[in-house]
Chain A
Amino acid sequence: MQSILEHVNWKLIRDVESLVCSLKKAQIPTELHHYRDLVLEICEDVEQRAQRNLSRIELLDQVDIIEDILSETQIAMQLRRSLSSILAPPVLRASQRDRLSLLIIN
């Protein structure tokens, strides 16, 4: 279990780093800048959770906190899923033609 959790959390960090790169590279209308910043904040949150899990995994030889790490890993995974399926696509698929719609929404 320990090695699985370690693997999952490292993968989360790599995935989020890759997503952050894509989000920052995306050519987006000005109206989406604030939204992208919010998505990047969530990416940072996921990365911090994964880093914290990895720090806690190091404590497993002293005390059994595996259920707590598992719970926190599940949250990070669910957030990662929401990022890739719901939150990031509007930025990654943005186009200058979206401006009118974004202006109306804003």
Chain B
Amino acid sequence: MKNDWIAAYNIERAYNIISDINVISVHAKLFLAGADYTIDRTELHDAREHLVEFITQLNSLVQVAEQSSENVVLGTDPRLGELARKFTLQKQRRSQQSVLYSISFDKLNELVNSEEIEELPELISLLRELRSMLEQHLHSDINHIHGDL
């Protein structure tokens, strides 16, 4: 039962963060293309705020994982700790191939709030990688919840 609750909580959090990523990504692409559309400023502001909060939280856990010999994060939300552990492992393995694993979290947070045209392609690419990582992480929780049926 406890694992069900953890999985359900992680699913809800991941849905919200992925939706925030989608809001920011759509805005960045439309802005970059000079498309004619109405920006929902409140939605964009909230999405940026939530994503920055999540990245900051992940950053602190990744720092703990990096200092641990086995990349383990103890005493925290287990699924977020697991995400930090996976992130650290990926960073060690493929930092040269991926923008997400080579950029600092502070720079990532700066980009999330950026309206500079020249920074948007990098932001779009980073958001794509971050979303993909979260979707993969989410998959096991969805299987856990629906697999019990």
Q: Which A residues fall within an 8 A CB radius of B?
A: 49, 56, 59, 62-65, 67-68, 71-72, 74-75, 78-79, 81-82, 85-86
Contact = CB atoms under 8 A, between A and B. Distances in A.
29 contacts: A49-B19, A59-B26, A59-B35, A59-B37, A62-B36, A62-B37, A63-B29, A63-B33, A64-B29, A65-B25, A65-B30, A68-B26, A71-B18, A71-B21, A71-B22, A71-B131, A72-B18, A72-B19, A72-B22, A75-B15, A78-B11, A78-B15, A79-B15, A82-B145, A82-B146, A85-B146, A86-B145, A86-B146, A86-B149
Interface of B: 11, 15, 18-19, 21-22, 25-26, 29-30, 32-33, 35-37, 128, 131, 135, 142, 145-146, 149
Interface of A is mostly: helix
A75 B19 contact: yes
Contacts of B26: 56, 59, 65, 68
Contacts of A62: 30, 33, 35-37
Contacts of A71: 18, 21-22, 131, 135
Given A59-B26, A71-B135, 17 more contacts: A49-B19, A59-B30, A59-B37, A62-B35, A62-B37, A63-B35, A65-B26, A67-B128, A68-B26, A71-B22, A72-B18, A75-B15, A78-B11, A78-B142, A79-B15, A85-B146, A86-B146
